[in-house]
Amino acid sequence: MGILEKISEIEKEIARTQKNKATEYHLGLLKAKLAKYRAQLLEPSKSASSKGEGFDVMKSGDARVALIGFPSVGKSTFLSLMTSTASEAASYEFTTLTCIPGVIEYKGANIQLLDLPGIIEGAAQGKGRGRQVIAVARTADVVIMMLDATKGEVQRSLLEKELESVGIRLNKHKPNIYFKPKKGGGISFNSTVMLTQCSEKLVQLILHEYKIFNAEVLFREDCSPDEFIDVIVGNRVYMPCLYVYNKIDQISMEEVDRLARKPNSVVISCGMKLNLDYLLEMLWEYLALTCIYTKKRGQRPDFTDAIILRKGASVEHVCHRIHRSLASQFKYALVWVSLGGGVGVRPNIASGLSAEQDILCSSVQCPCPAWGLEYLVCPTPRGMHAHPGWT
């Protein structure tokens, strides 16, 4: 029996097994098996079909967004609208055959937007260019799942299933489970919360399926067997996904309203250029980037020239952005965090202050609770105008 057949056998068995206390272990085991076969399916195939077809687009800019969707939902139309790159759009399916990069400039950041071929059911198993498309999706910071608003919900759940089956987890966070395989000592199992979906016995069964007999497991939240399997398997990507319903010029106001209220969803029309600004705002939020501005002593920061980093980035990240050698010589920095327009100053406590060094401040929406000292700091060689409010 081939892997695909084994997978479909197990899927069928899961589907016909009633979910109750008595079948809990059996189901857990089946799911563990399923995850194992899927992993085998994903191992790089020997055929060279994925080479040289324009899918290896260099990462560039501050973040990468992949456009995933069925054929003819408007992905290429969208890329051509939002970037200066033109990607051919037409009314027939599979117009786009490779990966086409464009750049969205927003709030001083360069966001790489990737137009991709349409994918269809079975993509994860290699239908169409599914595998290559999904491989690109894995490298993105955010996925835009583009949907045809006239086509109903089935497209959305099919695509979710495809991505799910190759270990991409959309709008989910990594399960809070500590898991460490050991050399000996058996399986030690603990939890800090009440577990309603997993038990010690089930955890053991699943681990044995993966031939793991010695490990430390600590559940810090009430996770499901599937989430536990994700932790064992390890190569999952947890990715924000924005569901974008295009072509709302074709549906009723009531329907637009219904779609717009769904979680993680935005409604647009590329044809009539509707709601594209709002989509950009949402995308920015999902990318979770922060703007950091450097400034010289006694001068004002240049707000037109930001260093863009992930929220939660450290001072060290900022240093590396400015110059490779900066972090190793780095002593301290002052940080201004602008919360709702206010600007604050805090001295660095780390390792002594050298007044010569320049400082930096951050824009609004700092992720830290108070004045985010550890977040946004560093010296920089950039000039700006003087401003009485700054030191």
Ligand X SMILES: Nc1nc2c(ncn2[C@@H]2O[C@H](COP(=O)(O)OP(=O)(O)OP(=O)(O)O)[C@@H](O)[C@H]2O)c(=O)[nH]1
Q: What residue ranges bind ligand X (CB under 6 A)?
A: 69, 71-77, 89-91, 93-96, 117-118, 246-247, 249-250, 269-271
From Mg ion, ligand X, K ion, none, interface partner of 74 (C-beta below 5 to 8 A by class): ligand X
**Least spacing, CB of residue 50 vs ligand X, in Å:** 18
Q: Binder to Mg ion among 80, 96, 132, 275 (CB under 5 A)?
A: 96
Contact region for K ion (CB under 5 A) — 69-77, 195-203, 206-214, 323-331? 69-77
Q: How far apart are CA 101 and CA 55, in angstroms?
A: 10
d(CA 42, CA 35): 11
Q: Quick one: which of 50, 95, 98, 299 contacts K ion (CB under 5 A)? A: 95
Chain residue at closest Cβ approach to K ion: 95
The percent helix, strand, coil of the chain (3-state, each to 5) is 30, 20, 45
Dihedral of the CA atoms 247, 283, 136, 60 (nearest 10)? 120
Least distance between K ion and beta carbon 87 (Å):
10
Q: How far is the CB of 77 from ligand X (least distance, A)?
A: 3
Work out the number of other CB atoms within 10 angstroms of the CB of residue 78.
25
CB of 95 or CB of 199, closer to K ion? 95
> Considering beta carbons, is residue 95 or 214 the nearer one to Mg ion?
95
Q: By C-beta, is 146 or 229 nearer to ligand X?
A: 146
Helix boundaries (H) for 166-293: 200-209, 225-233, 253-260, 276-287
C-beta closer to K ion: residue 38 or 75: 75
**Distance (Å, rounded) from C-alpha 313 to C-alpha 318?**
8
Residue in 7, 37, 66, 72 binding K ion, rule: CB under 5 A:
72
Q: Residue 92, class by beta-carbon neighbours within 10 Å (0-12 exposed, 13-18 middle, 19+ buried)?
A: exposed
Binding partner of 270, given Mg ion, K ion, ligand X, none, CB within 5-8 angstroms per partner class: ligand X
Of the ranges 72-80, 278-286, 335-343, 356-364, which one interacts with K ion (CB under 5 A)? Answer: 72-80
Q: What does the alpha-carbon distance between residue 188 and residue 207 come to, in Å, rounded to a whole number?
A: 12
Alpha helices in 43-102 (DSSP H): 75-82
Residue (of 211, 171, 172) closest to 36 by Cα position? 211
Cβ-based nearer residue to ligand X, 95 or 365: 95
> Which of Mg ion, ligand X, K ion, none binds 362 (CB below 5-8 Å, type-dependent)?
none
**x-or-dash string of contact with K ion, 190-229, rule CB under 5 A:** ----------------------------------------
> Quick one: 94 or 278, whose CB is closer to ligand X?
94
Q: Minimal distance in Å, beta carbon 90 to K ion?
A: 5
Choice between 250 and 264, CB closer to ligand X: 250
Return d(Cα 148, Cα 153) in angstroms, integer.
9
- Backbone CA torsion sign across 316, 322, 328, 332: negative
- From the list K ion, ligand X, Mg ion, none, pick the one residue 50 interacts with, judged by a Cβ distance below 5 to 8 Å according to partner type: none
> Cβ(386)–Cβ(357) under 8 Å?
no
Task: Please tell me whether residue 176 adopts helix, strand or coil conformation.
Answer: coil
Residue 178 binds what, of K ion, ligand X, Mg ion, none (CB under 5 to 8 Å, by partner type)? none
Residues 100-129 that bind K ion (CB under 5 A): none
The minimum distance between CB 164 and K ion, in angstroms, equals 25
Q: How far is the CB of 121 from K ion (least distance, A)?
A: 17
Q: What does the alpha-carbon distance between residue 358 and residue 240 come to, in Å, rounded to a whole number?
A: 35
Minimal distance, residue 320 CB to Mg ion, in Å: 36
Which residue has the closest beta carbon to ligand X?
118
Q: What phi and psi, each to the nearest 5 degrees, are found at residue 334? A: -105, 150
Residues ≥6 apart with Cβ < 8 Å to 374: 314, 315, 368
Shortest CA distance to 119 belongs to which of 104, 108, 130, 110?
130
Distance in Å, CB of 119 to ligand X, minimum: 8
Q: Is 95 in the site for Mg ion (CB under 5 A)?
A: yes
45-52, long-range: CB < 8 A, 24+ apart: 45/126, 45/131, 50/131, 50/132, 50/135
List of residues contacting K ion (CB under 5 A):
72, 95
List of residues contacting Mg ion (CB under 5 A):
75-76, 95-96
